[in-house]
A and B are shown apart, each in its own frame.
Chain A
Amino acid sequence: MPTVSVKRDLLFQALGRTYTDEEFDELCFEFGLELDEITSEKEIISKEQGNVKAAGASDVVLYKIDVPANRYDLLCLEGLVRGLQVFKERIKAPVYKRVMPDGKIQKLIITEETAKIRPFAVAAVLRNIKFTKDRYDSFIELQEKLHQNICRKRALVAIGTHDLDTLSGPFTYTAKRPSDIKFKPLNKTKEYTACELMNIYKTDSHLKHYLHIIENKPLYPVIYDSNGVVLSMPPIINGDHSKITVNTRNIFIECTGTDFTKAKIVLDIIVTMFSEYCENQFTVEAAEVVFPNGKSHTFPELAYRKEMVRADLINKKVGIRETPENLAKLLTRMYLKSEVIGDGNQIEIEIPPTRADIIHACDIVEDAAIAYGYNNIQMTLPKTYTIANQFPLNKLTELLRHDMAAAGFTEALTFALCSQEDIADKLGVDISATKAVHISNPKTAEFQVARTTLLPGLLKTIAANRKMPLPLKLFEISDIVIKDSNTDVGAKNYRHLCAVYYNKNPGFEIIHGLLDRIMQLLDVPPGEDKGGYVIKASEGPAFFPGRCAEIFARGQSVGKLGVLHPDVITKFELTMPCSSLEINIGPFL
């Protein structure tokens, strides 16, 4: 969930009133936001870098507000204020207008070289804007928030904003060999080639995260003006030449990306949020984008879409009984201008360009419910009549674990993920023989594979509890995972029961007795006849030679028991003899 940090006093000034922290928290809750933290720049620096560094930092109160991940229109102070003011019916939702310029329209021409790397671009102009320091900071911050969220760390969309007065159109969006791109990037004093830049930014704590997007591509995307000035090399860096400042009056905005829909949404969000500060409030100057196929489109789209939803559908989905007029009013408070039309039961809802999250009637239903107030909805119980059933494997597990405890064994709960070493090397088995599923992106060795046996987890549990009085008697009934090409995903869980006895003597008879007890509980009689169980001398690398037996029950092998090999005991950092038992309980269902 993205967090937006705004200055409290600035927020209250824009809201036209002040709130206590509790009142504002309450307002956020109602609206689906969360006042996550009340802090200040000074506090943040002090927390992260200590009091010394924090000295002199601003102690203006900051509100950190958690915003739902699909509400891009609430990612800056301007949007938050507009949303809350409309919600509280203090203002009417502004209407955003795209206007044609008096003079020539700004043009961005996309060449076909971009197709393989970053094929889409959209653009717009904010004319006669008036920044202040706070507004300018908010403008930069919004771009950063969009980059981190909807833009997926610039992979899907990257934003460039430029001082239009320093440039001269038409602009060209193309892709070139890195060695052929040379310009002075933002906040540097000299020109570099793209190759050089990629090297320099490898150590840049902020930019290094974006390099991978184009790094290994033969051509890099780049935007030029008609004089060959580089506007930007998306998605990495803008040119220094056209950088905007607090004093910039006319802004050229370009968004390039691999996802056309998202590029359009991002452009719409930026211009709707900041056209508030244009001389003609909430108007955005159009720009023309010419695609490689020669077709030309005008942006921003700023599309208003009309949806029709029946009032009784909303009432039925939410569980309320409101008149269509009231529902229309509720929706209007959610920035969705609505009116009752037709037979008096239809509500026509206008979806503004800021609400890209509304893609289905259910989104409209939700907004009606939020405006109604979730906590005002009457709670009722559905009349759904059902008979409950347990999942048979879990039912058996539940029954068994209680009797395992009654037999004096204590239940452990170990991880399903572990290292290759745990299930292979430490047990004297080759990893290829385990048929384990392997994880491709583990952060540490603890998450290399899914376990194929419960034994390592129990031995590690003993190792972590060596100070406890002996004997240690542990068990676990849980799932292990084995590759299996007969299932749709290629792997299958098996429910295993594992028990270990750890003491000064191996206690094979105790583990053996436990097996006898388990079989008694499962109503499996001793004996080799069909339906019975028997243990037969066997061997396994994890067991001491001559002290291992395979367990056969109901005509199939279900597991092994025995005294662990001293090498296994040592590798799990244990010092005492230990016997163990592990069976698959699936066959006993």
Chain B
Amino acid sequence: MADGPVAELLLRRLEASDGGLDSAELAAELGMEHQAVVGAVKSLQALGEVIEAELRSTKRWELTVEGEEIAREGSHEARVFRSIPPEGLAQSELMRLPSGKVGFSKAMSNKWIRVDKSAADGPRVFRVVDSMEDEVQRRLQLVRGGQAEKLGEKERSELRKRKLLAEVTLKTYWVSKGSAFSTSISKQETELSPEMISSGSWRDRPFKPYNFLAHGVLPDSGHLHPLLKVRSQFRQIFLEMGFTEMPTDNFIESSFWNFDALFQPQQHPARDQHDTFFLRDPAEALQLPMDYVQRVKRTHSQGGYGSQGYKYNWKLDEARKNLLRTHTTSASARALYRLAQKKPFTPVKYFSIDRVFRNETLDATHLAEFHQIEGVVADHGLTLGHLMGVLREFFTKLGITQLRFKPAYNPYTEPSMEVFSYHQGLKKWVEVGNSGVFRPEMLLPMGLPENVSVIAWGLSLERPTMIKYGINNIRELVGHKVNLQMVYDSPLCRLDAEPRPPPTQEAA
């Protein structure tokens, strides 16, 4: 467009003009649509300082469709007058003419015609004068010729009331020469081409400026799932801290490893049908380590290892019941049992992140399956202070530095502590994890040495992810109802980086 013929014409006219020209006048002179001139102005503007264009709005009178018709064919009253022959015309016939109704009354009031009601075959209309001046047509023709200013205010408003005239606002440009004015505007190149590079023509060619406000074209790419991006980061953190990953690739677990081995009594509410998914097929575990099972049974029902025990009738059938593991601690128990079988004892640091299952009521933050993150350290003489120290390092890597610890109860840890962190957004302490020292009643039957302590902590993967990515409904994150657009758009997971400030609350 910038190099179109209109732009060239415009530049030439502008060169010859004295100071500037009006886009509408130019259009009229060139006999083209005003819009074409405007397009040329805009494309020249885009070149920088070639021209200066000032937007002006002017008001103008224009004929309406009816006004155009009258300017062409005369007013209704004139047409009525002309249609009456010297011998007169029946009024009923006259009324049937297109201009009949309006023209009749106007011609009457102009006293151009009269009605003879005494005629035998109904009222008849006759001319009163021989000729008349069609003033309306004359005025409209003036307007059509662009000479509306020759009409008085009163005359114009009368024509407007008759809906023959309308006032329109016209946006025009007052175009003047710019600081870089030139009539020889060459065609702007949009992009650099291989030919230009080889010929060197790029040196002499102007290039169309880029609009840096426009968005780029996103690359076609695959995307990783945000929850699993966070999982990768947690794995990374554990690995940085020297923790070895435990195998957790067994969703199906026996009640024994899931509960009994953890010294969780058989009447514990977590073992209820309402909380845990039990299996119909395969309903029972086929093998259990029977020596160890006997020690677990004794600890539950009679005590031992310094414990009073729970003093109830422990049942093997209950321990055999298969279920979908309710926590990854069952995998930790297996790992610790394997560790206990290796002599001599070697200290370990373990971690796992995997799915667990709860037969729970579902809501916006709870699903029947979620991911649990678990860390375990087994060594001689570990203290509660050590647990807190490890937690501090772990959470620091997550960007959480303000921690405090609340006494809590877990069936298989003692002491137990819930971990709270201060949430800047919510302005309160929120629970971020659970932790404790595994009970001797859990560790000693496995065969671990008496002076070995095992500290452990756990948290869910979903919760920090939902906070990190600002997701309120867990179904948008996990499961098939995921919002893929959210997956496409989610940023990298950098847990220790400053989170983006939360969007400001809009007034309800």
Contact = CB atoms under 8 A, between A and B. Distances in A.
A209 to B, nearest CB: 11
B252 A490 contact: yes
Contact of A259 (B248, B282, B283, B312): B312
Contacts of A60: none
Contacts of B357: 416-417
Contact of A461 (B224, B367, B385, B480): B480
Interface in A368-382: 369-370, 374-375, 377-382
B385 A416 contact: no
Name the interface size band of chain B.
35 or more
B61 interface: no
Given A388-B244, A414-B480, A438-B281, A488 B286 contact: yes
A361 interface: yes
A259 B265 CA distance: 12
B482 A464 contact: yes
Contact of A391 (B242, B246, B287, B368): B246
Interface string A435-477: 0011111110011001000000110110111001000110100
A439 B278 contact: yes
Nearest to A572: B480
B322 interface: yes
A447 B368 contact: yes
Interface stretch (A106-114, A277-285, A315-323): A315-323
A366 B321 CA distance: 32
B392 interface: yes
Interface string B81-117: 0000000000000000000000000000000000000
A227 interface: no
A372 to B, nearest CB: 9
Interface in B113-172: none
A490 B480 contact: no
Interface in A302-332: 316-320
A8 interface: no
B228 A401 contact: yes
Would you list the 7 A-B pairs with minimal beta carbon distance, nearest first?
A319-B385, A32-B407, A319-B383, A490-B282, A68-B409, A460-B480, A366-B415
A173 interface: no
B390 A381 contact: yes
Interface string B220-251: 11111101100010010011011111111111
A394 interface: yes
Interface string A3-22: 00000000000000000000
Nearest to A365: B415
- Residue in A318, A407, A411, A465 whose Cβ sees the most chain B Cβ within 10 Å: A411
A362 interface: yes
B342 interface: no
B504 to A, nearest CB: 27
A344 B238 CA distance: 43
A331 B308 CA distance: 19
B148 to A, nearest CB: 55
B114 to A, nearest CB: 75
Interface in B255-293: 267, 269, 273, 277-288
A574 to B, nearest CB: 12
A295 B249 CA distance: 53
A216 interface: no
A407 B222 contact: yes
Interface in B392-445: 392-393, 404-409, 414-417, 437, 439-441
B386 interface: yes
B347 A384 contact: yes
Given A441-B273, A490-B282, 13 more contacts: A32-B407, A319-B386, A374-B384, A379-B389, A386-B244, A410-B484, A464-B480, A464-B481, A465-B484, A481-B251, A481-B252, A485-B282, A487-B250
A381 B369 contact: no
A474 B154 CA distance: 75
B75 interface: no
Contacts of B288: 488
A427 interface: no
Contacts of A394: 235, 245
B414 A450 contact: no
Contact of B484 (A152, A404, A468): A468
Interface in A402-441: 402, 404-417, 437-441
Contact of A489 (B322, B382, B414, B417): B322
Nearest to A480: B251
A378 to B, nearest CB: 5
B414 A360 contact: yes
A410 B484 CA distance: 9
Nearest to A407: B222
A450 B243 contact: no
Contact of A360 (B223, B244, B283, B439): B439
A359 B308 contact: yes
Given A69-B409, A437-B279, A441-B273, A405 B247 contact: no
Interface string A473-501: 10100010101010111111101000000
Interface string B34-61: 0000000000000000000000000000
A128 interface: no
Interface string B369-385: 10000000101011111
16 contacts: A32-B408, A34-B406, A156-B267, A259-B312, A260-B311, A362-B440, A390-B239, A416-B355, A437-B322, A439-B278, A439-B280, A450-B252, A489-B254, A491-B250, A491-B251, A491-B282
Contacts of A378: 385
Nearest to A479: B249
B264 to A, nearest CB: 12
B235 A390 contact: yes
B243 A386 contact: yes
B488 to A, nearest CB: 7
A382 B386 contact: yes
- Residue in A155, A317, A408 whose Cβ sees the most chain B Cβ within 10 Å: A317
A381 B386 contact: yes
A70 B268 CA distance: 11
Contacts of B390: 381-382
A443 B359 contact: yes
B449 interface: no
Contacts of A481: 251-252
A433 to B, nearest CB: 14
Contacts of B479: 413-415
B384 A377 contact: yes
Given A259-B267, A362-B415, A489-B286, A411 B487 contact: yes
A458 B225 CA distance: 13
Contact of B480 (A393, A440, A463, A472): A463
Contacts of B484: 410, 461, 465, 468, 472
B309 interface: yes
B250 A374 contact: no
B251 A375 contact: no
B307 A413 contact: no
Contact of A440 (B280, B348, B485): B280
A261 interface: yes
Contacts of B251: 416, 450, 479, 481, 491, 493
Interface in B202-217: none
B297 interface: no
A389 interface: yes
Nearest to B313: A259
Contacts of B441: 360
Given A261-B310, A378-B385, A437 B267 contact: no
B279 A439 contact: yes
Contacts of A479: 249, 251, 355
Contacts of A460: 480
A359 B487 contact: no
- Residue in A70, A409, A441, A457 whose Cβ sees the most chain B Cβ within 10 Å: A441
A489 B267 contact: no
Contacts of A489: 250, 252-254, 282, 285-286, 322
A410 B487 contact: yes
